[in-house]
A and B are shown apart, each in its own frame.
Chain A
Amino acid sequence: MAASEPLLRAEGISKDFLGVTALSGVDFDLAAGEIHALVGENGAGKSTLIKILTGAYRRDAGRIVLSGEPISPSDVMEAQSLGIGTVYQEVNLLPNLTVAENLFLGREPKRFGLIDRRAANRRSREILAQYGLSIDVSAQLSAYSVAVRQIVAIARAVDLSGKVLILDEPTASLDAAEVSRLFAILEDLKARGLGIVFITHFFDQVYRIADRVTILRNGHKVATRPLAGLERLELVSMMLGRELKEEESHRAPAGEAGERPVVARFRGVGKRGRIAPFDLDLRAGEVVGVAGLLGSGRTETAELMFGIAQPDEGRVEVDGRPAGFASPRDAIAEGFGFCPEDRKQDGIIDDLSVRENIVLALQARRGWTKPLSRKEQEAIADRYIAALDIRTSDREKPIKFLSGGNQQKVILARWLATDPRLLILDEPTRGIDVGAHAEIIRLIGELRERGMSLLVISSELEEIVAYATRVRILADRRHAGELDAGAISADAIMRAIAAGERHGDGQGRAAEIMQEGAA
């Protein structure tokens, strides 16, 4: 593929947002007639890089060279006219205009100073024919499926720009047949000499379509590698930032899980398009770690378990009794608690005080007619402020003034105050400082010893190894396997994830790997 001079070359691209480094010295190059995948976990800097290439952001440092010419697009229009077109996940077209109007928006063919609708329609049909699409171009775009809209968006971007096409998660809302169709079009564009940048979370798609892959992590480039000969495991390890090592024995005690009472039992619980049906038993005194890449269905699993989303199949038992959760309220009534991943949006009530945030779930469970007295509230708040070492000058301080780690502890306190039997923690250590991080991990161990059942979702493999008594492996929106106490190590988790992401036989491979691990 590689021509001597790449079509697009970016060198040393850096970008800060208010002192937070989003990208630091990232190099990237794209050859004509190449499909180049860009992968990385959330916050790795993929979208920042894309936005700099397309002129949506200004870079703080670095150089971009397109076809041998240094460029500095100051907005998306300029990047487009230079030859760089972008198609976003949520298609950036106007659904209330016709297909032809969308294709020629802002550059309508004119005749005597008026828009020549006939010419626009004719040329639209010609353009779309190249993509094997023969549709009524005078119909509203909203009449067509997301897949068709995607193709129209690509057609517009290619027609406008013609050199580089950037696709930001184009397959996120497509089904398998539509993905195949999209890929056929990409192959065709590639043959026509376009350079294509392709962002996705789906590994099998990376392997199916891309020639090379660039991995970003925490704003740095990890590597650019041809996909031929690149092991999945190596790709996962580069994304998650872990070297492959042999050692790492598992530190959490195995426990005699089989003898402990089952708190909650999930059988065939699933929701179409979110997470495939799964079975899961949660026992008292165990910590089930949940590992998987972004988009593998981790949060979706938690949402079904806590009644935030309703499963469309399967059944739930709590203490052997059938249970169904129409809302989080029902789950809480059964003694569940849930610390959400997005603490700001879903966790804290930012204007209310630390005290009010701590007592909220308990008060909600008691009902409005049985208020906790001010004295009781203060006692509860003080107890958890001391027990979890929440750093606040005053329990009456609005929680928004606390640091991320302390806010997380307040949310934990909110659930501990309800004395839950099952606590679901979604990324409990994300975005918090090192000290609080260690304390939360220690706390998870303590709660387990006190007989609580915990399900902890985390992207930090070491963390999972430290506290989990079992590890659920999620891949591609399904539960792909499980590692037992004896088999838990960061390596084993990574191998299982990589195996699970493998197209098709993920289940079998994961099981195989686990057997290896157990042996």
Chain B
Amino acid sequence: MTLPATMRRVLPQLVALLVILALNTAIAPGFLDVAFANGRLYGSLIDILNRGAPVALLAIGMTLVIATRGIDLSVGAVMAIAGAVAAALITTGQPLAVTLVATLGAGALCGLWNGALVAFLGIQPIIATLILMVAGRGIAQLITEGIILTFNDPGLVFVGSGTVLGVPFPIILWVVIGLCVSLLFRVTALGLLVEAIGVNRRASTLAGIGTSALLLAVYAASGLCAAVAGVVAAADIMGADANNAGLWLELDAILAVVVGGNSLMGGRFSIAGSLIGAMIIQSVNTGILLAGFPPEFNLVIKAAIIVVILVVQSPASHTLSAYFRHRPGAAQDRSAGAVRAAGKTGSAGKEAVR
């Protein structure tokens, strides 16, 4: 019963994703091929799911923060901290379990710091999290003592490049965490309470919602997600690079949330939408590589495609599509309009790529 509603909500994002995948297929004929070799699935699609894991993980936490009308700029830096903590512990001979728990704890602590600044001191989220965004990389460098700290503990490496039944482990991580967090917020009342805070924090407090505790929890969740992403990124290269791990990924994560149809003004949110948004971004990245553009074009083309997606989602274009919808003979259903809007994304996106 809730499934159709959820599907309807993310339909525009799904269509946009499919259009971009179709474009990629047009550019690179073998794009959809998936092969199984050496006990692992291979192919561009698998690559997108796998490479997109860090941004997808970040987007899960970011969605919750943005739903409270906040933003978390520190997630990239928290990734670096998490990578550094994991590498430092594992190279000093700590068991894998201790390493992972401590790393996640460090991420949660970073999130709690952000949450405390926002919830108790009333600092604007963009400023509050900017502090850790700047300081975090420094902290990570202190932990790694300024070098790229490499490790080869098979357990830790598995997080980045292991497979389960042929599926790369990072994919399993973001899909499972995404599902669990979605369920947690939809099965309990957390979703409603978080949305209420995002729309009107003062009124929510007056209605008896423990807004401070919830804000803390949400930022802590974002820190946790960033820590997981940080471990994945470090394990992937078998080293903690304090300078480059997660660099600018906070912006990709915010983009994924917004492309996923979530409003920066807070309120209604969809984690599924954000995850699809993360995959859209990764698909665009992969597509640009496959198309063989000179690398200097990549960022510009990516920006153009994102702009098109955002324009299609903007209130102005909703007004426009509402106008077309209400002409005689036009379909009345809202989702039909949404499909058409998403369709437009595709064609416009095509123009942008060519």
Contact = CB atoms under 8 A, between A and B. Distances in A.
Interface of A: 306, 308, 327-329, 332-333, 338, 340, 345-352, 356, 359-361, 363-372, 414
B193 interface: yes
26 contacts: A306-B206, A327-B210, A328-B207, A328-B208, A329-B210, A332-B208, A340-B206, A345-B202, A347-B206, A348-B200, A349-B196, A349-B207, A356-B195, A360-B192, A360-B209, A363-B189, A366-B189, A367-B189, A368-B188, A368-B189, A368-B190, A368-B193, A369-B189, A370-B189, A371-B188, A371-B192
B206 A349 contact: no
B189 A329 contact: no
Give 4 closest A-B pairs by Cβ, nearest first: A332-B208, A371-B189, A364-B208, A364-B209
Nearest to B212: A327
Given A356-B196, A368-B193, A372-B189, 16 more contacts: A327-B205, A327-B210, A328-B207, A329-B208, A346-B203, A348-B203, A349-B195, A349-B200, A349-B204, A351-B199, A352-B195, A352-B196, A359-B192, A360-B209, A364-B209, A371-B188
Contacts of A346: 202-203, 206
A360 B196 contact: yes
Nearest to A332: B208
Contacts of A370: 189
B37 interface: no
Interface size class on chain B is 20 to 34
B267 A351 contact: yes
Contacts of A348: 200, 203
Contacts of A368: 188-190, 193
A365 B208 contact: yes
Interface of B: 187-190, 192-193, 195-196, 199-200, 202-210, 267-268
Given A328-B208, A332-B208, A361-B207, A356 B192 contact: yes
Given A356-B192, A371-B187, A364 B207 contact: yes
A268 to B, nearest CB: 25
Contact of A308 (B189, B195, B196, B206): B206
A14 B204 CA distance: 39
Contacts of A340: 203, 206
Contacts of A345: 200, 202-203
A363 B199 CA distance: 17
B206 A350 contact: no
Listed residue (B202, B204, B207) with the most chain A CB atoms within 10 angstroms of its CB: B207
Nearest to A361: B207
B3 to A, nearest CB: 13
Q: Is the interface of B mostly helix, strand, loop or mixed?
A: helix
A124 B134 CA distance: 45
A195 B135 CA distance: 58
Which of B188, B189, B204, B206 gathers most chain A CB within 10 Å? B206
A53 B207 CA distance: 42
A370 B192 CA distance: 12
Contact of B268 (A351, A359, A365): A351
Contact of A350 (B192, B199, B205, B207): B199
Q: Which of B192, B193, B196, B208 has the most CB of A within 10 A?
A: B208
A350 B204 CA distance: 11
B208 A361 contact: yes
Q: Report which residue of A347, A359, A366, A414 has the largest number of chain B beta carbons within 10 angstroms of its beta carbon.
A: A347
Contacts of B202: 345-346
Nearest to B268: A351
B200 A350 contact: yes
A363 B205 CA distance: 13
Contacts of A308: 206
| Most B C-beta atoms less than 10 A away, residue of A327, A351, A372 | A351
Nearest to B265: A351
A414 B207 contact: yes
Contacts of A365: 208
A345 B210 CA distance: 18
B305 to A, nearest CB: 29
B206 A338 contact: yes
A414 B200 CA distance: 15
A356 B202 CA distance: 16
A349 B203 CA distance: 7
A111 B204 CA distance: 58
A369 B188 contact: yes
Contacts of B192: 352, 356, 359-360, 363, 371
A306 B208 CA distance: 10
Contacts of A366: 189
Contacts of B206: 306, 308, 328, 338, 340, 346-347
B208 A347 contact: no
Residue from B189, B196, B200, B202 whose CB has the most chain A CB atoms within 10 Å? B189
B182 to A, nearest CB: 15
A364 B193 contact: yes
Contacts of B195: 349, 351-352, 356
Contacts of B207: 328, 349, 360-361, 364, 414
B181 to A, nearest CB: 14
Contacts of A351: 195, 199, 267-268
Nearest to B186: A371
B197 to A, nearest CB: 9
Contact of A347 (B193, B203, B268): B203
Contacts of A352: 192, 195-196, 199, 267
B289 to A, nearest CB: 39
A368 B206 CA distance: 16
Contacts of A371: 187-189, 192
Contacts of B204: 349, 360, 364
B195 to A, nearest CB: 6
Contact of A363 (B187, B193, B203): B193
A328 B187 contact: no
B348 to A, nearest CB: 28
A345 B206 CA distance: 11
B318 to A, nearest CB: 15
Contacts of B268: 351
Nearest to A336: B208
A348 to B, nearest CB: 7
Max chain B C-beta neighbours (<10 A), residue from A328, A338, A366, A368 = A368
A349 B189 contact: no
B102 to A, nearest CB: 28
A414 B192 CA distance: 14
Contacts of A333: 208
A352 to B, nearest CB: 6
Nearest to B201: A349
A371 B208 CA distance: 15
Nearest to A329: B208
Contacts of B267: 351-352
A363 B230 CA distance: 36
A371 B210 CA distance: 15
A425 to B, nearest CB: 13
A410 B192 CA distance: 17
A349 B193 CA distance: 11
A328 B203 CA distance: 11
B189 to A, nearest CB: 4
A421 to B, nearest CB: 15
Contacts of B203: 340, 345-349
Contacts of B208: 328-329, 332-333, 361, 364-365
Nearest to B197: A349
A370 B190 CA distance: 10
B199 A349 contact: yes
A474 B284 CA distance: 65
